[in-house]
């Protein structure tokens, strides 16, 4: 997921991490950056504690995260998951 310059700056400020730690470049020809994911596919900022998950930057999360779920398939997946709780 692509991050805006403002989102990168805010995440740097909130986390104290340089952007190179939580992003990867779209390519040499452009200065676009994507959020890095963990080896297991989880978001870089997703924290797990005894099977409970939470966003580590919730108040400063990128716009795409604020809008999730935005597509019908995402909403269906969320409803399915919540029904199991």
Residue 39 and residue 21: Cα distance in Å, rounded?
Answer: 14
> What is the reported pLDDT for 85?
41
Distance CA 80, CA 83 (A): 5
Instruction: Give per-residue pLDDT as tens, 21-68.
Output: 999 886 665 578 899 999 988 889 999 888 888 889 989 989 888 877
Cis peptide before 11 (omega within 30 of 0): no
Q: Is the pLDDT of residue 8 over 90?
A: yes
Q: pTM for this structure?
A: 0.72
Residue with token string 């986390």: 15
Is there a contact between 67 and 36 (Cβ–Cβ < 8 Å)? no
Query: Domain residues of the chain, as ranges?
Result: 2-83
């Amino acid at each position: 997921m692509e991050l805006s310059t403002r989102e990168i700056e805010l995440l740097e400020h909130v986390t104290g991490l340089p952007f190179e730690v939580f992003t990867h470049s779209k390519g040499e020809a452009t200065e676009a950056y994507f959020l890095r994911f963990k080896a297991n596919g989880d978001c870089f900022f997703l924290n797990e504690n005894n099977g409970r998950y939470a966003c580590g930057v919730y108040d400063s999360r990128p716009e795409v995260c604020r809008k999730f779920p935005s597509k019908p398939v995402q909403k269906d997946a969320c409803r399915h998951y919540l029904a199991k709780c």
